[in-house]
Amino acid sequence: MIRMTDVFKEYANGTKALKGVTFELNAGEFAFLIGPSGSGKSTIIRLLIGEIAPSDGEVIVNGQDMDNIKMRKMPYLRRTIGVIFQDFRLIENKTVFENVAFAMRVIGASNKEIRQRVPYVLELVGLEFKAKSRPDELSGGEQQRVAIARALVNNPRLIIADEPTGNLDPARSLEILLLLKKINDLGTTVLIVTHEKPLVDQFSQRVIAIDGGRIVNDGMDGYYDYEDE
Amino acid sequence: MKMNRNRTFYYIKEGVSSIFNHSLMSFASVCIIIAFLVIMGSFILLAVNINALVGELENDNIILAHIDETVSESEARALEHTILSIPNVTNVVFTTNREAYENFIGRHEDEGRFGDIDYTVFRHRFSIFVEDVALIAETQQELRHIPEIARTSANLTVARALVNVRNIVSWVSIIVVGVLLAISLFIMSNTIKLATFERREEISIMKMVGATNSFIRWPFIFEGFILGLTGALIAFVSIMALYGFAAGRVIEIEAGLFQLVVFSTISVPLFLLFAGIGFGVGVGGSAFALNRYLKV
């Protein structure tokens, strides 16, 4: 599903973001990628969704080598990955239904398919009664659930969530993580990137810890302790 | 870029709703297209009218070929075919020496002092019209090779002046339209860049969920198409009204000076030009401005 092998990333300004990162995430797994600000988490996300290429090493996502993928094939790979961001990234002038349906239109789904699938996904995230609302009429937690519904709607094999609880209060944060766990239980591989250690502590799941561009811990039992800035 | 009907409808719907969702930028884009086309159209109409005026003056610029007095009238008339076969000659009008005499007397009848002149002092002559006034000297040279022609006369100074005016008008038109086009494209591309910058977040979301570049482009292309043609249409109607108003004023003030070119004679090419520019600037500008946001 995801395989990073000895990955280095140095940006044009000389910043060495990753210094030999190696880890693997298999189909059906649920894992947290945790680390303080500036540890290299965002760089890993950007590599996984093909926004940037590694300086060295190998990044494989859903069987595709991200360093050798042709630009015209990138959209098709992205359709196999659902991405959720901290700032939700919803289109403000579209309703909840349209925001979710939009991801289906992109892959060429028919109106009939959209009418069948979108209500099902909205129900899964508990927003079936908010289909006609616009993003600015929703709470932060609800907006994030719309983003999750959009990530889910095309039935991706992998969901990557980048700080999905960053803009939410603790209760809503836990709700979102539980929702992502529920999605994982239905068979989707989930990687959650976060710096909120107390939240992660509540889950008995695999945690990959990164600091200074290196993996410092990877496992189910405990992980690297750090003080976030 | 193949499209099925479902998608085409979606692209059009998105393009139209985007115009209203970003109404301020849409309004600015249409206004810039209108302003440019009205300015350019006004200049084109001015150039067309100057060219028409010069053309009229050119038509009055003829060569007079006087026939040797030893040649009879019938022999002189027979020269018509020879003269018409000379390149650049479009038409000839024959005037006998008697007609030339009568014309002369007619112009000076008040003076009475030419009444006793014999008409034979005048020569038969041809008034020769040319296609290109710039070649009038060469045509005159050709005429001199015909033995029966005793003398030719043409106002070469006026001919050269008309050619100069026409050349200047042509060059100034090309330069002004070129400069206007460059300025307008610059302003237009900045307006479109601003419009797409406003929507960079939307575009990045599209990319993130796996939209192909063509899927992102098409609604923008339809939007540019609609805005471009709307601008072109409004500009055309405006210029038609402005020209009608200006024509009325010119005829009122300078009645008889010259006839303005009738708008309907140039309306089709002008409309096609406006529509082409509106389409090109709208569609081309949209597609071009999007490029930087699609390279992710």
Please give the ipTM for the structure prediction: 0.80
Residue from B146, B254, B199 nearest B15 by CA: B199
A49 to chain B: closest CA residue: B208
What is the Cα gyration radius of chain B? 31
Query: Residue B178 has what pLDDT?
Result: 84
Q: Does A53 touch chain B (CB under 8 A)?
A: no
Q: Does A148 touch chain B (CB under 8 A)?
A: no
Return d(Cα B210, Cα A143) in angstroms, integer. 20
Query: Domain spanning B62-154: which CATH class is it, in words?
Result: alpha beta
Tell me the nearest-neighbour CA distance from A93 into chain B, angstroms. 8
Mean of per-residue pLDDT scores for chain A: 89
Instruction: Report chain B residues touching chain A, CB-CB < 8 A.
Output: 6-7, 10, 21, 201-202, 204-213, 215, 296
Given B21, B210, B296, which is nearest A106 (Cβ)?
A: B210
Residue from B31, B29, B2 nearest B285 by CA: B29
Report how far Cα B25 is from the mean position of its chain's Cα atoms. Answer: 33
Cα dist from A59 to A34, A118, A190, A207, B225, whole Å: 19, 32, 17, 19, 42
Q: What stretches in chain B show pLDDT beneath 70?
A: 1-4, 109-115, 188, 192, 195, 249-259, 292-293, 295-296
Tell me the nearest-neighbour CA distance from B210 into chain A, angstroms. 4
Tell me the nearest-neighbour CA distance from B218 into chain A, angstroms. 12
Return d(Cα B183, Cα B5) in angstroms, integer. 38
A208-227 pLDDT, tens digit per residue, is 999 999 999 898 765 566 65
Q: Would you state the structure tokens that stand for residue B187, as one six-digit string?
A: 């302003």
B201 to chain A: closest CA residue: A89
Return d(Cα B77, Cα B71) in angstroms, integer. 10
Query: Residue B1 has what pLDDT?
Result: 45
B143-187 pLDDT, tens digit per residue, is 888 888 888 888 777 777 877 887 888 888 888 888 877 877 777
Contact yes or no for A227/A196 (Cβ under 8 A)? no
Tell me the nearest-neighbour CA distance from B6 into chain A, angstroms. 7
Return d(Cα B11, Cα B217) in angstroms, integer. 9
- Convert B236-268 to b/e letters by CB count within 10 Å (16 or more is b): bebbbeebeeebeeeeeeeeeeeebbeeeebee
A107-123 pLDDT, tens digit per residue, is 888 889 999 999 999 99
φ/ψ (deg, to 5) at B294:
-95, -10
Cα dist from B98 to B51, B90, B101, B113, B117, whole Å: 37, 25, 5, 18, 11
Residue from B74, B191, B173, B9 nearest A110 by CA: B9
Domains of chain B by residue range: 5-57+161-294, 62-154
**Strand pairing category for A189-194 and A158-162:** parallel
Query: Residue A44 has what pLDDT?
Result: 94
Q: How many CB atoms lie within 10 A of CB A128?
A: 14
Predicted confidence band of residue A5 (pLDDT cuts 50, 70, 90): very high
- Go through the domains of chain A in sequence order and give each one's CATH number: 1-80+157-229 (3.40.50.300), 90-155 (no CATH)
**Strand pairing category for A206-211 and A214-219:** antiparallel
Helix, strand, or coil (residue A210): strand
Return d(Cα B92, Cα A208) in angstroms, integer. 99
Per-residue pLDDT averaged across A61-70, rounded? 89
Contact yes or no for A125/A149 (Cβ under 8 A)? yes
Return d(Cα B145, Cα B49) in angstroms, integer. 38
Query: Residue A197 has what pLDDT?
Result: 84
A135-174 pLDDT, tens digit per residue, is 999 998 899 899 999 998 998 989 999 988 888 888 888 8
Tokens 């709307």 belong to residue: B230
